[in-house]
């Protein structure tokens, strides 16, 4: 389900008052309950009704054990279940219950409570206040806050900044969310989806199309199918780009994918149907579009859903015009304008709070820039890391430096024995020293070369030199420098050597092909006796 849109549905979730209980005299072991809570906090994003029921049961068991943080987490899970099903008043009641002050909240629960407050205010159309609560969540980040929760907070911050017109800030926060999400298919795809959908809402066609392509590419790369939300985004982008036939096909897949889960949650289902109706109308099939829009209208409850109902009115006017009912189209458009003015009025009432919010986002932006830099450096050696390499090396390859751009994969020979014979602390000191030698080996007159740690005892040199021979000379000199270095201060009686595989950009090279050649040459150097550069 898209995080950029409010999440509601017609289902009702019973909210029971918190029972009085006497904590058990037995010592509580909250670990299994915490694991169960973590699973529910993932489930609530896709099946809120089921997650809400299970959270209520978990809350009762945690209360009997006196596991207060699990109780608070379960109450907040129930609150999110209500919010996603459109039961905003019930969600607010539960959030207040969790934050009643009887027990200080853990870091994770503080972040979760602030995130839920942001969701509620966003549902009410008050994005500035929602952003304030998101910033509260960011300030509560700590090592104990689960990665998934941090990604959701950063992602929501980016969504809100985009809706408030702070595009540059929004893109920084999306990047920060993506850095944490890499390797987790559904979470990573969620971030990509939201960024693409934000470009779609802004009418940034090129960015939206690029986002749709990235969404499809990462889905294929992960071998993880797109959910209804991702398909709907791609369908809308195809519609924006003038391809209604593809939009219809993908929108139909989104509706079908939503049937098992998403139609039970939020207003996602009606939005998917609106997308399909718009695509059918654009393809010249207004009767089909009307039937689809009727389904969307039935999927909305009588209470709430102001945004989606406005969207239905807007699409209805377009369909009536396509059917030749211009009077009906005009009257429907008038109804849409009246409803839209009411929403706009409520939004303007919230604008008095936006100045302070934007001040906070300025500070957050500076913090995000610092985080971005830190996220691209290896914490032990201070060298660039794999994430930076992928970004920067791809840029250099795109710029085109055939014959001048070289990479050298460098691996320390028999390094495991250093850790085994001397200690991991000694091994870390060796890695730090090698990092210094790598940086000292870089040519100082090009501005494009850099050294990176790839992981473990493996390093990478990216070199911009006049030709391949010069790159080979640099790597060979590095090999001799490392071998001749005095290592007695950290590993007495032992020397360090390295093996390296060198590859130079050829026409048509990609990030993957260039590194694959370097890796093959490194293997050749290792298998040929180590302490050498190949080729």
Question: What's the CATH number where 466 sits?
Answer: 3.30.70.270
Top-confidence residue, 394 or 54: 54
- Check residues 345 and 52 and name the one with the higher pLDDT: 52
Does 451 fall in a domain? yes
pLDDT tens digits, one per residue of 340-366: 776 665 545 544 443 444 444 455 555
Cβ burial, residue 298 (10 Å; 0-12/13-18/19+): exposed
When pLDDT is averaged across residues 13-27 and rounded to a whole number, the result is: 36
> Which whole number is the average pLDDT over 83-106?
84
User: Is the pLDDT score of 124 beyond 80?
Assistant: no
Dig out the tokens for 391 from the structure: 């970004």
Give the strand pairing for 498-504 and 405-412: antiparallel
The answer to whether residue 482 is domain-embedded is yes
The answer to whether residue 445 sits within a structural domain is yes
What is the structure's pLDDT at 461? Answer: 96
User: 503: domain range?
Assistant: 386-534
In a domain, 248, yes or no: no
Q: Is residue 515 part of a domain?
A: yes
pLDDT of residue 363: 54
Q: Measured between alpha carbons, how far is 520 from 215 in angstroms, rounded to an integer?
A: 31
What DSSP assignment string belongs to 506-517? -TT--HHHHHHH
Q: How many domains does the chain have?
A: 1
What does the pLDDT average to over 483-512? 93
> Would you state the pLDDT for residue 12?
30
Q: Please return the burial class of 406, using the count of CB atoms within 10 Å of its CB with bins 0-12, 13-18 and 19+.
A: buried
- Decide if 371 is inside a domain: no
Assigned domain for 473 exists: yes
Least confident of 25-34, 69-78, 216-225, 518-527: 25-34
- Digit-coded pLDDT (tens) for 417-438: 998 899 989 999 999 999 999 9
Query: What does residue 385 show for φ and ψ, rounded to 5 degrees?
Result: -115, -175
Cβ neighbours of residue 367 closer than 8 Å, sequence gap 6 or more: 138
User: What pLDDT sits at residue 22?
Assistant: 39
Residue predicted with more confidence, 258 or 480: 480
Q: Which is higher by pLDDT, 405 or 365?
A: 405
Residues near 492 by beta carbon (within 8 Å), at least 6 away in sequence: none
Lowest mean pLDDT among 62-66, 224-228, 233-237, 298-302: 298-302
Q: Is the pLDDT of residue 28 over 50?
A: no
pLDDT above 60 for 195 = yes
Domain membership of residue 439 (yes or no) is yes
What percent of the chain is helix, strand and coil (3-state, nearest 5)? 65, 5, 30
pLDDT of 135 over the 70 cut: yes
């Amino acid at each position: 389900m898209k995080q950029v849109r409010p999440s509601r549905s017609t289902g009702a979730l019973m909210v029971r008052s918190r029972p009085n209980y006497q904590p058990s005299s037995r010592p509580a072991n909250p670990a299994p309950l915490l694991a169960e809570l973590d699973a529910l906090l993932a489930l609530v994003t896709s099946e809120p009704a089921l997650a809400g029921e299970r959270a209520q049961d978990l809350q009762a068991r945690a209360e009997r054990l006196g596991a207060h943080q699990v109780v608070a987490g379960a109450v907040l899970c129930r609150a999110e279940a209500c919010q996603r099903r459109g039961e905003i008043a019930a969600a607010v009641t539960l959030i207040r219950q969790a934050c009643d002050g009887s027990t200080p909240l853990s870091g994770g629960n503080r972040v979760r409570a602030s995130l839920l407050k942001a969701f509620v205010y966003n549902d009410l159309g008050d994005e500035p206040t929602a952003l304030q609560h998101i910033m509260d969540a960011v300030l509560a980040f700590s090592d104990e806050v689960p990665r998934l929760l941090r990604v959701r907070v950063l992602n929501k911050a980016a969504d809100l900044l985009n809706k408030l017109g702070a595009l540059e800030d929004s893109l920084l926060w999306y990047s920060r969310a993506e850095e944490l999400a890499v390797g987790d298919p559904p979470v990573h795809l969620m971030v990509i989806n939201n960024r693409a959908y934000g470009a779609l809402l802004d009418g940034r066609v090129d960015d939206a199309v690029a986002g749709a392509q990235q969404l499809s590419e990462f889905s294929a790369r992960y071998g993880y199918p797109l959910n209804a939300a991702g398909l709907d985004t791609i369908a809308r982008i195809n519609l924006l780009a003038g391809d209604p036939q593809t939009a219809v096909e993908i929108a139909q897949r989104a509706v079908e994918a939503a049937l098992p889960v998403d139609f039970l949650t939020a207003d996602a289902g009606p939005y998917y149907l609106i997308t399909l109706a718009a695509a059918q109308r654009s393809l010249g099939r207004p009767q089909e579009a009307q039937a689809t829009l009727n389904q969307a209208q039935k999927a909305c409850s009588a209470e709430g859903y102001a945004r989606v109902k406005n969207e239905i009115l807007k699409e209805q006017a377009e369909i009536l015009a396509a059917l030749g009912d211009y009077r009906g189209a005009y009257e429907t458009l008038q109804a849409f304008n009246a409803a839209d003015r009411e929403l706009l009025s409520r939004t303007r009432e919230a604008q008095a709070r936006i100045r302070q919010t934007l001040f906070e986002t300025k500070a957050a932006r500076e913090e995000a820039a610092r985080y971005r830099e830190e996220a691209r450096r290896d914490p032990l050696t201070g060298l660039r890391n794999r994430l930076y390499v992928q970004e920067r090396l791809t840029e250099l390859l795109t710029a085109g430096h055939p014959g001048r751009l070289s990479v050298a994969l460098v691996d320390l020979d028999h390094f495991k024995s250093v850790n085994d014979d001397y200690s991991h602390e000694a091994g870390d000191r060796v890695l730090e020293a090698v990092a210094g030698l790598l940086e000292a080996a870089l040519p100082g007159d090009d501005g494009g070369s850099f050294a990176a740690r790839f992981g473990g005892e493996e390093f990478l040199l990216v070199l911009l030199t006049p030709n391949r021979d010069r790159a080979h000379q640099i790597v060979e000199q590095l090999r001799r420098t490392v071998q001749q270095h005095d290592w007695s201060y950290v590993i007495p009686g032992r020397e360090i050597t390295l093996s390296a595989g060198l590859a130079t950009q050829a026409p048509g090279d990609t990030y993957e092909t260039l590194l694959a050649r370097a890796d093959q040459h490194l293997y050749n150097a290792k298998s040929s006796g180590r302490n050498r550069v190949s080729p």
